[in-house]
């Protein structure tokens, strides 16, 4: 089961990514949960798309990234929580 803090971090990151890609957050979330990444990747430059695919192909890397000091700092900055 996902921890509440991780869920909040994921939601904050989803908002950032959706705004950068110009896709509504709910649409992006639904597509990502369904394993469809076409809209997400289509809005990225080739270098970003390549990095995104690398993370998707490696769940351990995704977990490491989500638990990084930078991700936690970004979450705190976005939510005002520390």
Q: How far apart are CA 82 and CA 80, in angstroms?
A: 7
Each residue's pLDDT tens digit, 37-61: 777 777 778 888 888 778 778 888 8
**Cα four-point dihedral sign 37, 38, 44, 47:** positive
| pLDDT exceeds cutoff 60 at 4 | no
Q: How far apart are CA 54 and CA 62, in angstroms?
A: 9
Confidence of residue 1 (pLDDT cuts 50, 70, 90): very low
């Amino acid at each position: 089961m996902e921890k509440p803090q991780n869920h909040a971090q994921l939601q904050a990151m989803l908002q950032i990514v959706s705004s950068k890609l110009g896709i509504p957050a709910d649409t992006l979330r639904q597509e990502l949960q369904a394993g469809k990444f076409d809209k997400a990747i289509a809005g990225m430059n080739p270098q970003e798309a390549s990095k995104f695919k690398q993370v998707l192909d490696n769940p351990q890397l995704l977990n490491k990234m989500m638990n990084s000091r930078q991700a936690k700092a970004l979450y705190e900055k976005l939510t005002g929580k520390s």
